Amino acid sequence: MSHTFAIKGARLLFAKELKAWRAMTLRLPGKAAPKPAAGTLYAYSPAVLPKPGDWAPEVLVTGYWFLDSPDWRPDEALESFLRAGPAPVYFGFGSMPGIEPAAMTGMILEALEMTGKRGLLAGGGGAIGKVDASARAFFLSSAPHDRLLPRTSAAIHHGGAGTTAASLRAGLPTQIIPFFGDQPFWGRRVGALGAGPLPLDRRTLSAAGLANALAAMDSAAIRGRAADLGTAIGREHGVEAATSFLERLSLRSG
């Protein structure tokens, strides 16, 4: 029942985007005629969540699908900050709304002072407010994860599936502060895998709690597990696996 709800819910939520994609990219009628599913692709890493043994062969856990930005380069100010001291901690909450951005930003800055660490604060959807650049902290509106995260020492974020994939691929100790949806689930997975502490509750978050998380992510056990997980994800080829799977289905049906 949950799978049916998720599939139909996605079609309702993204109906406009799907219709435009079919028309502009595939040159097909805007609305697809309903057909039985030929197979199912799950675009996450089996190293993060193994495929259950009772799933049928037509269900494939492919590994993550990454859209990298090899041509991106940091601007002069960001490059100077990255070179000016130890690798900073990445803080970013993606498209999450700014519920209390001033309070969140203040807690982050206080935690950095308490631990003597440096931080990269990504504004995204507004959950983190803009701060003046200093030796301790640097604010940026956005940057591609594949280029930025390998130059950081750890990541604290909301636990969106894509951001979780990016921080784990980079081999980073990861602390998740979920907002809603699937984010608490990915936070629990990171904790269960030993690649970071258990998720923090955003409603009771404090500078001391963030400082404790920063200290916990320095442990050799967490750093080692995160590095091993990053290596495992790096060996996967999710897009290629998905493409091969679809081609096999096409040959079978054709």
pLDDT tens across 191-243, in order?
Answer: 999 999 999 999 999 999 999 999 999 999 999 999 999 999 999 999 999 99
pLDDT range class, residue 7, cuts 50, 70, 90: confident
pLDDT for the residue numbered 133 = 86
Domain map (residue ranges) of the chain: 1-35, 36-64+237-254, 76-234
Strands 59-61 and 89-92, sheet pairing: unpaired
Instruction: Say which residue the tokens 């960001």 belong to.
Output: 78
pLDDT for the residue numbered 9 = 86
Inter-CA distances, 3 with 8, 9, 145, Å:
9, 10, 30
The domain 76-234 belongs to what CATH superfamily? Glycogen Phosphorylase B; (3.40.50.2000)
pLDDT for the residue numbered 91 = 97
Cα(194)–Cα(177) distance, rounded to whole angstroms? 16
- Whether the per-residue pLDDT at 57 is higher than 80: the answer is yes
Asked if residue 178 lies in contact with residue 201, where contact means CB atoms within 8 angstroms, the answer is no
Q: Which two tokens stand for residue 22?
A: 């079919």
DSSP single-letter state for residue 33: P
Lowest mean pLDDT among 17-26, 33-42, 183-192: 33-42
Cα(16)–Cα(34) distance, rounded to whole angstroms? 17
